[in-house]
Structure formats: structure tokens, C-alpha cells
Amino acid sequence: MQIGMRKDIGAGLIALAIGIGVCWISLGYRIGTPARMGPGLVPLALGIVLILCGIGAAISGLRSSENARPMRARPMVMVTLSLVVFALTIERLGFVPASALLIVLSGLSESPPKWIALAVLCVVLIPAAYFLFIVLLGIPAPAFAWKF
Amino acid sequence: MGVVDNLLLGLETALTFQNLIYCLIGVTVGMVVGVLPGIGHLTAISLLLPLTFYAPVTAGLVMLAGIYYGAQYGGSIASIMINMPGTASSAVICLDGYPLTRQGRAGTALIITTIASFVGSCIAISLLIMLSPPLARAALSFHSADYFSMMALGLVAAGTLIQGSKFIGAASVTVGLLLGIVGTDVSSGAMRFTFGAPELFDGISIVVIAMAFFGVTEVMTSIGLARDHALNAKVTLRSMMPSRADLAESRNPILRGSMVGSAVGILPGAGGGSMAAFMAYAVEKRISKKPDSFGNGAIPGISAPEAANNAAAQSAFIPTLTLGIPGDAIMALILGALLVHGITPGPQVIADSPELFWGLAVSFLVGNFILLILNIPLMGVWVRLLKIPPTYLFPAISLFIAVGVYSVANISFDVFLVAGLGLAAYVMVAFGFEPAPLLLGYVLGPLIEENFRRALLISRGDFMVFIDRPISAAFLVMSVLLVIWVALGARKNPDPVKES
């Protein structure tokens, strides 16, 4: 599945949305005066810049017909999911199961998935990463765990 | 201290066993990622950034820098052998490098680019050694207003000197500045954009930003795509012997390319290697007596740009280490690594940590010698790396992203953050947002806000301080001129690839 959309208009809308959100939040902070600036002044100014850039990009985008680079839905979902699952499992199941889940889930971005390659990766990469990060660098994560 | 003493100190630092090992690791990793298309040096440096937090600062920087210039050597190999640039800055090498391969002269092309890389680097390193101390001394007299204006110029350059919409370029810088603001405000203690999450009180780690924008987006873009090329040519040691004619034809282009590259590399926001390589190519084509040969395997068409992109990779360190102004995203990562180690980038670095500056400068020379020595006998090995199927590459990178991000603070919150930011980054990049200016904004954001506030605090809120100080005024005038120049030229929107 691929999503097609006008590039500059879409980018302008993204900038506009972020800008409005930033301004909204910044108004909750103290703004202050130029001599004694509050924490809200700089973010508010940047939010306004972002809104102006967004409007500028969207208007100049009306003249161009260039589409955004097609986004690939399957890798978007699977890579994000693989990272989220890793974050959820690293402390609960341990380093080895979390890494294996991550490799397999991100490998599912490919269709059909190359199961043999993924198995090879799990067998070779996980011990190597375990040695580098946990043994050598001393990251306090267990190899296996069962904590819920 | 004289230059000789400084260089001796540098040699002493660079030649310690630890720094040599880190240099070797850096340049080897750089070569490998440079050769492999689909994984750029930005991705590689982002992936290895967390590892440097475990090393002393000099060793860590020696390694990161080694990846950068090592990748410049390696990038041209993929360009020459399979017509696919291993790194963005060696795209122009494809134009004449691949035709040479089809003529059966791959070996010659590889050795010429190796020599060009080495000479270009050495010329730029000499400039770094000569120019940096006086530049830093001059910058020591800068006030906070001058700093603000200088960083503003860097950001304006980063946002405008890009392909495509300048509005989106400016928006990219602004989003980066905002990402840099997240966390506790230094002057008031207020929490900004933390949404009540204590994990965000110290701000978002540079590792999370770099992995999201250069790691996750790369994986999402390239995972599961088959590489459509065939590796046909064989490279033997004998085929790499350059003829006398080839060398003679390369000499002047290499020298000119080194000059162009060194000059472009120093400019902030000029995008480093790619622009240097394109400019050097354009210069050679213009002054050549046989402009028709360009695109059909002209030796100057590979030697000048290759010298230029390596020279730019080295001279980019001049503004980074003397002024604290990074010229491109890689230099921003280097600055970020310095900040993590508690060193404030700026003109005081050379005076306060001479062993860091001189050790780094000499390690560049050492690294380039290692690359030259590694390259010639191992060329066959590098070429064979092109056969690694991408199926193995990208899940491995995903694992490196997850574990690397987790290792920074040992909290899974950061991994959630990289997943969310990475997804957002992928969508934004698809709509034309530029990750490199964004990273520049992120790194410079806190520094620029601090100097802005301090300048206005000293002037009691009078904005004239930015115009009254001549240095500050000069930087601001340059920024305004740049914006006007870009606004006038925006309609044409030149594309160097099509031009040359």
C-alpha cells in the first residue's frame, strides 16, 4: 500500500499543526519581557515562525504538483512495532527474547519474510550484541527474565 | 606553545594504544558503511554514538571522525563498481567512475580515488592545523550577542541552502530548535514540553534524535527493497597500478579539488561533501580542454570530486572545533558528543583541552595513513562487501537502534520515544522535511537561546545590542543577504545533478 499526497501542501500543514500546538502550550508558560525573558518567549516565537513557514510552504505548494515521496505502510508499521515490543519486553522478558522479537518483527517488513535469514540473524547477532552491550559496556539488562 | 610543541602533543595523544585502536575501529567501520549503499555515514555515526559515551572524550571523537572520513573513502567504491553511491557525497563519482568500470578500468579508478582522497585529506588537515589556533584566538573576544548572530547565520544557511522548498527548510530548523528546548529551562527552572514525564526533564538525548531521524527513517525507507545491480568487474592488485599518464592527468585536478573542498567544508551549512564534490566536478568540466570526455570515464571527473569531498570532510572540523558552529549534520553529532562529555564547544576548546584538539588533528593524519594502507591490499574485500544482501542489514540496524538507545539511560522510555519520533520523522522526511538542518537546530537550540537571553540581559532588553556590535552586525547582515539571495534565486531552483 502506498500513500500519495501533494508534497509542499502536506509539509505546510504539518508545520502549521506543530506550530499551533507549540504556541498553545507556550502560552501556558510565563512570557516575560525582553530584558527578563520568561521560559515561554522563545518557544512562542518559534511556534509563530513555524506557522508562518507552514502557510508559506502550503501557498507555494499550490503551484507545484510534486507529490510526497510514497510512504511504505508495511515497514512503517512493522519497524515501529518492533521497537515498541522491544521497549515493552527488554525488562520483562530479558535481552535475548526482546532482541529476537525485534529482529523477527522488523524482518516482517519484507514480504514474503526471509525466515532463514532472520533465523541466522537471531543466532549470530544476539550473542554478539549481548557480548558488546551487556558484557563489555555493562548495561544492566538480564539475558532472560519473567517479570509482569 | 609553538606549532611543533602542539604537534608533538598531538602525536603523543594520537599514538596512545587506546586512541590508535579507536581510530582503527572508526576508519574500518567508516569504510564498511561507506561501501554499503543504503547505510550512510550519518546512520553509522548515529548508531555508534552511544558507544562513545563509554570511552574517554578524545577516543570517542577520534572514532566518530574516523567513521566520517573513512566513509568518504569507501563511498566512491560503490559508485565506481555498481553505479550506486555508497554515501551521498560520492554520487558525483558515479558519473565518470562507472563508465571507467565498464571500460575494464575499475582498478585504475579505485586507486586514483584512493590517492585523491589521501591528498585531499592531507591538504585540508594542514589547513586545520594552521588556521584553527588564530581563528580560535580571534573568536575568544566574541560576546554573547556575537555568538547569537553567528549561530543564527549557521542556522539560516542550514535552512536555506537545501534543495526544494526553503519554507520547509526553515521549518525543519525550527522543529529542531523546539526539540532542543524540551526539558528543564536553565534560567528559570521551568519544565517545557515535558508533558509531566520525568524522563523528559533532562531533555531528549541526542542519541534518540539522531537514531530517529537517521536510523529509523533509513530502515523504513530501505528495508525489504531488493538491490538491483550486478557486481561484474573483478579487481586485482595488478589492475590497480595506475599508468604514468593517469597520474599526470590527475595531479592538477586533485590539487584544485582539494582547494574547492577545503573552502566549501569551512562554510557553515554548505552541506559538506556533496556540494564540494559537485562544485569540484563543475570546475573541472568548465576548464577542461576535453569537456566531452566527462561522463564517459574522464579521470579528472573522479579525481577532483573525490579530493574535494575528502578535503571538505576534514576542513568541516575547522568551524566546529574553533567556533562551535557545526557545518553539517555530522559535525552537529560531533558537537553533541562533546556536549555529552561536558565540553562546551567554542574557541576555548583549543586552549582548555589542547590534547583533545591536537590529538584529534593528528589522529586524522594517522587515520588517513591507515586508510591508504588498508585500502590497497584489501580492495578486493571491500568490493566483495557489495554482495551482502540487504535482508541481513536492516533488522541488524533495528537491533542496534533499540539497544543503543536503551543503553544511554537504561530506560525503555527512550526506546518508545525513538519509535514515535522515528515514525514522525519518516512521514516528515517523505513530505520534504530535511533531517540535517533539523539536527543542527536541535544541537544549537539551547546554545543559541542562552546567548540570546544573556545578550539581552546585559543590554537590559535593548535589541540594538545585536546591531551595535560590529561582529554581530556583520553576521546578521550576512544572514539577511543570504535570505535575499535565496529568495531571488528560488524560482530557478538549480539542480546540480542535472546541471552537470
| d(C-alpha B487, C-alpha B266), whole Å | 23
Q: What is the dihedral of CA B98, B104, B107, B110, to 10 degrees?
A: -10
Whether chain B has a CB inside 8 Å of the CB on A62: the answer is: no
| d(C-alpha B189, C-alpha A137), whole Å | 33
A-B CB pairs within 8 A amount to 206
| d(C-alpha B279, C-alpha B271), whole Å | 12
Nearest CA in chain B to A61: B165
pLDDT value of position B493: 47
Average pLDDT, chain A: 88
Better pLDDT: B473 or B161: B473
- Predicted-assembly ipTM surpassing the 0.90 threshold: yes
Mean pLDDT of B462-476: 89
Closest by Cα among B121, B104, B39, B24 to B78: B39
pLDDT value of position B230: 62
Placement of cell 515561554 in the chain: A40
CA dihedral sign of residues B495, A51, B452, B42: negative
Query: Burial of A115 by CB count in 10 Å (0-12 exposed, 13-18 middle, 19+ buried)?
Result: exposed
At residue B227 the predicted structure's pLDDT band, cuts being 50, 70 and 90, is: low
Placement of cell 506550530 in the chain: A19
pLDDT value of position B420: 96
Element (H, E) at B192: strand B191-192
| d(C-alpha B22, C-alpha B55), whole Å | 9
Q: What is the DSSP string of B200-224?
A: GTT---HHHHHIIIIIIHHHHHHTT
Q: Residue B339 region, left (φ>0) first, then alpha (ψ -120 to 50), else beta? A: alpha
Span B294-325, pLDDT tens digits:
888 889 999 999 999 899 989 989 988 888 88
CA dihedral sign of residues B222, B224, B225, B226: positive
Grid coordinates given for B9 = 602533543
Mutation site for A-interface testing, chosen from B165, B201, B221, B459 by largest number of A Cβ within 10 Å? B165
Whether B361 contacts B314, CB under 8 Å: no
Nearest CA in chain B to A19: B175
At residue B499 the predicted structure's pLDDT band, cuts being 50, 70 and 90, is: very low
Grid coordinates given for B28 = 574500518
pLDDT value of position A24: 94
Contact yes or no for A30 and B178 at CB 8 A? no
| d(C-alpha B104, C-alpha B285), whole Å | 23
| d(C-alpha B226, C-alpha B237), whole Å | 30
- Those residues whose C-beta lies under 8 Å from the C-beta of residue B130, and which sit 6 or more positions away, are none
Residue B498 confidence (pLDDT) above 60: no
Better pLDDT: B111 or B275: B111
pLDDT value of position B464: 87
- Those residues whose C-beta lies under 8 Å from the C-beta of residue A143, and which sit 6 or more positions away, are A94, A95, A96, A130, A134
Under DSSP, the state recorded for B324 is: S
What separation in angstroms does the CA of A41 have from each of B10, B185, B329, B345, B462?
A: 44, 12, 27, 25, 16
Strand-pair partners of A67: A6
Mean pLDDT of A41-48: 92
Residue B154 confidence (pLDDT) above 80: yes
Grid coordinates given for A109 = 517488513
pLDDT value of position A1: 37
Average pLDDT, chain B: 86
Closest by Cα among B374, B293, B383, B348 to B76: B383
| d(C-alpha B382, C-alpha B35), whole Å | 7
Strand-pair partners of B192: B183
pLDDT value of position B199: 86
Q: Residue B174 region, left (φ>0) first, then alpha (ψ -120 to 50), else beta? A: alpha
Contact yes or no for B407 and A118 at CB 8 A? no
Nearest CA in chain B to A67: B431
Span B106-148, pLDDT tens digits:
888 988 999 999 999 999 999 999 999 898 888 888 888 998 9
Lowest mean pLDDT among A18-27, A56-65, B38-47, B236-245: B236-245
Strand-pair partners of B191: B184
| d(C-alpha B67, C-alpha B56), whole Å | 17
Closest by Cα among B178, B78, B126 to B379: B78
Nearest CA in chain A to B175: A50
Whether chain B has a CB inside 8 Å of the CB on A7: the answer is: yes
Whether B139 contacts B323, CB under 8 Å: yes
Better pLDDT: B378 or A97: A97
pLDDT value of position B402: 94
Span A99-109, pLDDT tens digits:
999 999 999 98
Element (H, E) at B394: helix B390-409
Span B341-369, pLDDT tens digits:
888 888 888 888 888 999 999 999 999 99
Angle between helices A95-107 and B390-409 (to 10 degrees): 140
Contact yes or no for B181 and A117 at CB 8 A? no
Placement of cell 517523505 in the chain: B430
What separation in angstroms does the CA of B269 have from each of B273, B354, B437, B448?
A: 11, 26, 8, 16
What is the nearest CA distance from B213 to chain A, expressed in angstroms? Answer: 13
Domain boundaries, chain B: 3-499
Backbone dihedral angles phi then psi of residue B454, each to the nearest 5 degrees? -65, -40
pLDDT value of position B496: 43
- Those residues whose C-beta lies under 8 Å from the C-beta of residue B433, and which sit 6 or more positions away, are A11, A14, B168, B171, B172, B175, B425
pLDDT value of position B197: 86
pLDDT value of position B233: 65
| Chain A residues near residue B395 by CB distance under 8 angstroms | 102-103, 106-107, 118, 121, 125
pLDDT value of position B495: 45
Nearest CA in chain A to B159: A53
Contact yes or no for A139 and B449 at CB 8 A? no
| d(C-alpha B47, C-alpha B30), whole Å | 12
At residue A130 the predicted structure's pLDDT band, cuts being 50, 70 and 90, is: very high
